[in-house]
């Protein structure tokens, strides 16, 4: 059957009990009747149905802004292969997956009531890439003007926040170490250590997860391109520099604040790489970064991805 544009993207839910595809309204009607064995109450299903983001959100902003193609920061951070498959095929998700997202959205709403700085301001940047006019859009949770420049804060509601840890550093150059074939080895100078006396133990505070660090760096690019406008909103002069960035994690008990390093060159390199993958006529490759394979466990188009690939796409793909 030929599919229409409306049949692409998220078209319904997967039943929490039978794992069968069901329409949004069908899921809600079932929940309202009691839905034996289902954890979703009708109100939670209703919120899930009405919180689905328009998949054309960034593209519509691009067309309004005179650009050819639009991407959000969130889209650039996602698996490029998943994004393409979701754009080109119908798929279903369990309503509980949207529940996790909406739970975070709810607390974000409370945090946005903080009266200082600029909260949830959608920023955009139009530029050329591979001959096409691109619009990048993103919405930092909080932008503040500190004494030494712009400070970006991003909030993450999570069940597991990063933790600090003790690490061993090279006693010669203070570089980080790893366990290589010949033993504990310095990443910087290559020294191989046979004794703990050659090492220095230090405590490393919690660090942002890699994708979250990239996210605030992409936000920094957007702040840079909109700095005069943002400064005007604060009735201040554009400082022309950054004080830094941080990711604040909100697990069940105590918040964890992580300082994020801003690296403009690395952010631009990531941006070019992500855009190249998304604009390529070929379907992007499967994830081959071991630290990112967790995405496959939550992917709603995983079965289609594996069917096209002809093999598993999780950790088994690296074996």
Residues 134-183: tens digit of each pLDDT: 999 999 999 999 999 999 999 999 988 999 888 888 888 888 888 888 88
Task: Examine residue 290 and state whether it is found in any structural domain, yes or no.
Answer: no
101 and 32 in one domain?
yes
Percent of the residues in the chain that have a pLDDT greater than 70, as a whole number? 97
Please indicate, yes or no, whether residues 114 and 16 belong to a single structural domain of this protein.
yes
Residue 300 lies in a domain: no
Looking at the fold, whether 193 and 209 belong to one and the same domain comes out as no
Assigned domain for 142 exists: yes
218 and 187 inside one domain: no
pLDDT above 70: residue 18: yes
Total number of domains constituting the chain? 2
Q: Is residue 308 in a domain? A: no
Same structural domain for residues 154 and 261?
yes
Instruction: Give yes or no: residues 190 and 220 share one domain.
Output: no
Which residues have C-beta within 8 Å of that of residue 146, sequence separation ≥ 6?
243, 244
314, part of any domain: no
223/271 same-domain check: yes
Residue 177 shares a structural domain with residue 232: no
**29 lies in the same domain as 139:** yes
pTM of the model: 0.88
Average pLDDT score over the chain: 92
Neighbours of 208 (CB within 10 A): 24
Give domain status of residue 251, yes or no.
Answer: yes
Query: Is position 60 within any domain?
Result: yes
Residue 4 has pLDDT above 90, yes or no: no
98: in domain:
yes
| pLDDT tens readout for residues 227-272 | 999 999 999 999 999 999 999 999 999 999 999 999 999 999 999 9
192 — pLDDT class (breaks 50, 70, 90)? confident
User: The domain that contains 122 carries what CATH number?
Assistant: 3.90.320
Highest mean pLDDT range out of 85-94, 122-131, 198-207? 122-131
Q: What is the model's pLDDT at position 319?
A: 63
Q: Which of 183, 204, 225 is the last residue of a domain?
A: 204
- pLDDT reported for residue 1: 30
d(CA 302, CA 98): 17
pLDDT band at 15; cut points 50, 70, 90: very high
The pLDDT value recorded for residue 93 is 94
In a 13 Å sphere around the CA of 30, the CA atoms on its Cβ side amount to 21
What does the pLDDT read at residue 184? 84
Does residue 5 carry a pLDDT above 70? no
Give me the domain span that covers residue 189: 165-204
Whether residues 144 and 220 fall in one domain: yes
What confidence score (pLDDT) does residue 318 get?
Answer: 65
Mean pLDDT of 73-92: 94
Q: Are residues 68 and 192 in the same domain?
A: no
Instruction: Report pLDDT for 86.
Output: 93
Last residue of a domain, one of 204, 226, 254: 204
User: What's the CA gap between 227 and 121, in Å, rounded?
Assistant: 12
Same domain, 45 and 16: yes
Determine the average pLDDT of the residues in 24-51: 94
Average pLDDT, integer, range 120-143: 98
């Amino acid at each position: 059957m030929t599919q229409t544009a409306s049949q692409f993207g998220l078209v319904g839910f997967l039943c929490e009990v039978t794992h069968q595809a069901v329409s949004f309204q069908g899921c809600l009607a079932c929940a309202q009747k009691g839905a034996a064995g289902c954890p979703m109450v009708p109100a939670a299903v209703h919120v899930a149905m009405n919180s689905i983001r328009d998949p054309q959100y960034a593209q519509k902003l691009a067309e309004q802004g005179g650009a050819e193609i639009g991407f959000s920061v969130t889209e650039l951070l996602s698996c490029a292969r998943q994004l393409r498959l979701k754009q080109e095929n119908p798929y279903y998700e369990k309503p509980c997956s949207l529940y996790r997202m909406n739970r975070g959205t709810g607390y974000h709403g409370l945090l946005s009531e903080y009266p200082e700085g600029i909260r949830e301001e959608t920023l955009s940047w139009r530029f050329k890439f591979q001959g096409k006019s691109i619009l990048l859009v993103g919405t930092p949770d909080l932008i503040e003007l500190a004494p030494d420049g712009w400070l970006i804060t991003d909030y993450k509601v999570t069940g597991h926040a990063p933790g600090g840890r003790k690490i061993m550093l090279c006693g010669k150059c203070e570089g980080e170490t790893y366990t290589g074939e010949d033993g504990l080895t310095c990443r910087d100078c290559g020294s191989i250590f046979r004794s703990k006396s050659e090492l220095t133990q230090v405590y490393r505070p919690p660090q942002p997860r890699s994708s979250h660090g990239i996210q605030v760096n992409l936000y920094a690019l957007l702040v840079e391109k909109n700095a005069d406008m943002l400064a005007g909103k604060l009735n201040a002069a554009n400082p022309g520099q950054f004080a830094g960035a941080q990711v604040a994690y909100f697990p069940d008990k105590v918040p964890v604040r992580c300082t994020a390093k801003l690296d403009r060159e690395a952010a631009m390199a990531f941006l070019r790489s992500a855009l190249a993958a998304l604009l390529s006529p070929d379907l992007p490759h499967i994830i081959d970064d071991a630290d990112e394979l967790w995405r496959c466990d939550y992917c709603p188009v995983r079965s289609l991805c594996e069917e096209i690939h002809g093999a598993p796409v999780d950790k088994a793909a690296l074996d």
